[in-house]
Amino acid sequence: MKIVVSWSSGKDSAWMLHGLRQRHPGAVQALLTTTNEAFDRVAMHGVRRSLVEAQALAARLPIRIVPLPWPCSHEDYERRMGAEVASLADDGFTHVAFGDLFLEDVRRYREERLARTGLTPLFPLWLTSSTADLANEMIGGGLEALVTCVDPRALDRSFAGRRFDESFLRDLPPGVDPCGERGEFHTFVCGGPMLEVPIPVAAGEVVERDGFVYCDLSGSTSGPA
């Protein structure tokens, strides 16, 4: 197996990386992410590209970045991701791992798009436990993360920039998934067993853009020595 991990910069993909390394030592060979060309940030999470690159350095893995136009049409996304998938297959990758938890339509989309590409989708976290148990497992396992984006229809803007910890979970309103699987919130992982060193990062300005609330993160971007 030669696995590339679909990397959002957040807790689910990071925890998945940790588990894959335990189950398939040496098989994970790269991270894969997309960025918004207009802002040079990870799509949805709003994380600076430099911080994602620092994560890759801390994980001791190369990162493959696919820039997407803004706004990005479905056709543009399919074309650019299709080219990257073909390149991954040419480079000997056999599997793409996703951190999806329970959304059937998302999983089906990924499976359909990867059919006959030479790459097999993996879903290591899929229905492995309740999302409440999974969230507590991550925190108990040493994962450290900050909330980078919230959907104000689900969460108050004050949740942006908070640490993903027991206090955060206790304060979530009823109906909000503890892992934010329906897009209620997104995170940036700055420490944990999947990173050789922590990434110093601090919460900065909170802004609203395109219907979502983002916390701008800043910190060291040099990565580990």
- CA pseudo-torsion sign 182, 184, 188, 191: negative
Q: Kindly state whether residue 225 falls inside one of the protein's structural domains.
A: no
Number of CB atoms found within 10 A of residue 50's CB: 15
Q: How far is Cα 93 from Cα 99, in angstroms, rounded to an integer?
A: 18
128-162 exposure pattern, b = at least 16 Cβ within 10 A, e = fewer: eeebeebbeebbeeebbbbbbbbbeebbeeebbbb
pLDDT of residue 72: 78
3-state class of 12 per DSSP? Answer: helix
Range of the domain at 53: 3-219
pLDDT of residue 225: 31
pLDDT range class, residue 85, cuts 50, 70, 90: very high
pLDDT of residue 210: 86
pLDDT tens digits, one per residue of 11-70: 999 999 999 999 999 999 999 999 988 888 987 788 999 999 999 999 999 999 999 988
Q: How far is Cα 89 from Cα 108, in angstroms, rounded to an integer?
A: 20
Q: Kindly state whether residue 224 falls inside one of the protein's structural domains.
A: no
State the average pLDDT over residues 98-109: 96
What does the angle CA 50 – CA 144 – CA 148 come to, to the nearest 5 degrees?
55
The answer to whether the peptide bond before residue 124 is cis (omega within 30 degrees of 0) is no
Q: Kindly state whether residue 175 falls inside one of the protein's structural domains.
A: yes
pLDDT of residue 189: 98
42-46, 82-86, 94-98: range with lowest mean pLDDT: 42-46
Q: How far is Cα 211 from Cα 224, in angstroms, rounded to an integer?
A: 35
* HEC per residue, 24-66: CCCCEEEEEEEEECCCCEECCCCCEHHHHHHHHHHHCCCEEEE
Task: Note the pTM of the prediction, 2 decimals.
Answer: 0.93
Domain CATH code at residue 38: 3.40.50.620
Q: Kindly state whether residue 27 falls inside one of the protein's structural domains.
A: yes
Q: How far is Cα 129 from Cα 109, in angstroms, rounded to an integer?
A: 22
Q: How far is Cα 16 from Cα 125, in angstroms, rounded to an integer?
A: 7
pLDDT of residue 70: 81
Q: How many domains does the chain have?
A: 1
Q: At residue 220, does pLDDT exceed 60?
A: no
Q: How far is CA 89 from CA 3, 17, 85, 122, in A?
A: 11, 20, 6, 15
pLDDT tens digits, one per residue of 104-159: 999 999 999 999 999 999 999 999 889 999 999 999 999 999 999 999 999 999 99
State the average pLDDT over residues 182-186: 96
